[in-house]
Structure 1
Amino acid sequence: MINANKPNLWKEDVARSVDLYNTWFMQFAPEAYRSTRVQTTADVKAALKVLDNLKSINPEIIMNNPTIVPTLRMCTAPPLARDRLTGLGYLNKSILSSMEDKGAVPPKMKELELVRNFTAISGVITKLLDKDIFTWLEDGHVPTDEEVYRASTIIADRLCGAVANPIIKNAQEQRQLALIASYLEERGYDRIKHPSDKPITEMKKGTYSFIMNVPIYQSEVTSEDGESGDNEGASKVNLAIDVVIQKKTAQDGEYPILIECKSAGDFTNTNKRRKEEAIKSIQLRNTYGSELKLYLFLCGYFDTPYLGYEAAEGLDWIWEHRISDFDQLGI
C-alpha cells in the first residue's frame, strides 16, 4: 500500500493537497477561463452573423446550424437551461441532446417532427430575447460593431459561466497528465498508443498511454456498499482510463498500472461522487481479477471521509503534491 494504509498522514496530506489546488487555481484557472472566453466571444459573434444579429431566427437556420442552440439559449431573459427550453417548447429531448452534444440534427427523426421542434425553438427564443442586450431589436436600427461586440461578450460570459467548472476541470486534468508524462519520461518511459485489438498485458514494457480504452464487463452495482454480481449476462464495454503504464520490469503477461486523475475544488462534490471510482475498480476486478490495480492521482479537496471510503473499497492513491509516491509502484 502507498497511502491507503497510513491514516495518520491523511490530515496533513489533505491540507497540502488543498493548498496546491488553491495555488494553481489562483495562478492559472483565470487564464484558462479567459482563453475560453475569447474563443467563445468569437463563436457568439459568428452565430449572430448567421442569425442576422437575431433578426432572422427561423427553423431553417437552426436546422442548418445546430451548434448555435446553446448560444440562443443564453440570448434570452432569463437565460434558459436546456431542460427549461425543452419544457417551454414541448420539445423532443433527443433533439437538443443531439444538437448540443453532437452538433448534429438527429438523423433518423422524421422531417415533420424536426420542423415542429425547430419551429418551437424559434418561437420560444424570439419571444424571450433579451432586448436590454440586443438594443437594436427595439427600434430595428442596424447595430454598430461596438454594439455587436458588447452583446457578444455578455453572451460569452453567460456561456462560460454555465460551463465554468468543466473549463477549470479540463485545464486541471491536462496539467495532471503533463506532470505524469514529465515524471515518466524523466525515467526513460515512452508514450505510445496501444493497439485496441491487443490485450493490455501485451503493452510494450517501459511505455505509457493516455486515455486508453480498457475492455471491462458492465456490471450492475446493486448494494450501497458497492458490491456487484458476477459477469454472467453482463455486456462488455470499454472503460476509458486516464493513464496506463507498463513497467520496464514487467514480466510477460503482467498487467499494467492504471491511474485515474482526480482533482476537485470543494469537499462536497468529491464525497458525492466517491462511489464512481469504487465502481470502476469493481468492474476491473470482475473482469481481470485482483492482480489488476487501479490507483488514484489526487489533487485538491479530498478529505478523510473520502479517503476512508476509497481505502475501504480497496483503492490506493498517489498525491500530486508528492508525486514521488509513484516510486513505490516500481516505475
Structure 2
Amino acid sequence: MKPFEMPRIYSEEELTRIAAKATQRFVEERHAAEYALAEQYHEVFARASMGVAHVMQVTDNLEHLREKGTDLLTDGYLDTLRSMVRPTVSEDDFKNLSSTGTTGRTKFHDPELSAAALDYVQRNLNLDLFPWLEDGEEPSASDIHAASVSIAALMAEQRTKTAMRGGASHKQESLVKDTLAERCHYKRIVGADFDIQMHAPRPGELFDGETKVADTKADVVFGLYDGRFMCLECKVSNSEVNSFKRLNHEAVEKTKQWESQFGKQCVSGAVLKGCFKPANLLSAQESGTFLFWSDSLDPLVDFVERTRR
C-alpha cells in the first residue's frame, strides 16, 4: 500500500534561515505600520483616560470604592478597575481570584457578586500609584494626574497589543482559507464541532468558521483529497521569547490532542508569522507539528495538491 503524502520536514539549518527571514519581514511590516499603530494607541489611551477619570470621580479618588463601586461594575468599568490592582489580572484570573466566577457587567447587579469583586479590587489596589490611600492624606491634583496617566497608559498598551495580535491572527486565518479556496479549489461550507472522523470535512471541503475538533478549537479545518483531514493553528509572535508560548505550548498541545484522538487520519500543523526561535521551531516539528509560514503558503499548497495523487 502506498504511504500517505506528508508535509515537508525542515532541517535545523533551514529552520534557522526561515526564522531569520520571517523576523526580518515582521520588522519591515511593523515599521510600515508604525503610524497606524501610534494612532490606534492614541485613541485607546484617550478612551482609557476618560474611564479612569470617571472611576476616580465616582469613588472620590478611590476613597469610597466599596460604597460607590457597584454602578461602575454594572456600567462596564471592570477593565479599568482590574488595571488599578497590583499585579494587574486577566479576566480569567479575576474570575477565580475574586471568587465571582464572572466578568459580565449584568451579573454584578447581584449584591454578593458585586461586593466580592469590589472587595478583591480594594484589597489589591496599587498603593504605589495611590499612596494617599495608605498615608491618609488628601491627594494633590498632581498625585491624581500621575496615577491616572499611569493607569491609562497601561490599559492602552495592553489593549493595543491585544488588538494587534487578534487582527494579525484573523488575517492569517483568512489568508489560509482564501489560498485553499482559490489555489486548491476548496469549497467553503458551514462546519460543526466534531470528535469522530465521519463528521470531519470531506475531500475538497473547508470549514468556513470556528470549529472545535475533539473539544479543542482549530483555526482552519479542511478535508485532504486522500480522505484524511487537516487542522491548522495560526500563530503570530512578536518575539522569540513569546514564540514558545504561541507555538510549543498552545499549538503543539492541540496537535498532540488531535493526533491522540484521530491518529494518522488527522494531519496537524501550524501556520506562523513573526519572530520564532529556531530551537522552538525544531522542537515543535519533532513533536509532530508540521510547520508553514503565511509569508509563503506554497509548501501548504504543494502538500495539498500531492494528496490528490
Q: TM-score, normalised by structure 1?
A: 0.67
Residue equivalent to 2:297: 323
Tell me the CA shift for residue 328 of structure 1.
1.9
Residue segments in structure 1 that go unaligned for 5+ positions in a row: 84-90, 141-146, 216-237
Tell me the CA shift for residue 120 of structure 1.
6.3
Identity among equivalent positions (%) equals: 15
Tell me the CA shift for residue 284 of structure 1.
0.9
Q: Aligned to 1:256, which of 199, 210, 229? A: 229
Q: Aligned to 2:87, which of 69, 81, 87? A: 81
State whether structure 2 residue 80 is matched by structure 1 residue 71.
yes
Residue equivalent to 1:98: 102
Cα distance per residue 1:53-93 (max 9 Å; x no partner): 65274335433332423323545xxx63236xxxxxxx981
State whether structure 2 residue 66 is matched by structure 1 residue 59.
yes
Residue pair 2:45, 2:152 contacting (<8 A) in 1 also: yes
Rate the CA distance shift 1:121–1:181 in 2: closer, same or farther, 3 A: same
Worse-matched range after superposition: 261-270 or 289-298: 261-270
Tell me the CA shift for residue 329 of structure 1.
2.5
Residue equivalent to 2:53: 48
Residue equivalent to 2:263: 289
State whether structure 2 residue 154 is matched by structure 1 residue 158.
yes
Tell me the CA shift for residue 126 of structure 1.
9.9
Q: Aligned to 2:273, which of 271, 278, 299? A: 299
Residue pair 2:19, 2:277 contacting (<8 A) in 1 also: yes
Tell me the distance in 2 between the aligned counterparts of 1:34 and 1:191: 36
Cα distance per residue 1:304-325 (max 9 Å; x no partner): 3122212221221112222111
Rate the CA distance shift 1:54–1:170 in 2: closer, same or farther, 3 A: same
Root mean square deviation, CA, Å: 3.9
Aligned AA (2:254):
K
Aligned AA (1:98):
T
Aligned residue pairs, count: 280
Tell me the distance in 1 between the aligned counterparts of 2:295 and 2:120: 52
Tell me the CA shift for residue 170 of structure 1.
1.7
Rate the CA distance shift 1:52–1:176 in 2: closer, same or farther, 3 A: same
Residue segments in structure 2 that go unaligned for 5+ positions in a row: 1-5, 90-94, 133-137
Matches within 5 A, 1:116-155: 118-119=118-119, 121-122=121-122, 125=125, 130=130, 138=139, 155=151
Residue pair 2:270, 2:290 contacting (<8 A) in 1 also: yes
Residue equivalent to 1:22: 27
Cα distance per residue 1:268-313 (max 9 Å; x no partner): 2324662443322221121111220111111222233122212221
Tell me the distance in 2 between the aligned counterparts of 1:41 and 1:6: 48
Tell me the CA shift for residue 26 of structure 1.
2.0
Tell me the CA shift for residue 214 of structure 1.
0.9
Aligned AA (2:237):
A
Tell me the distance in 2 between the aligned counterparts of 1:298 and 1:97: 34
Aligned AA (2:221):
V
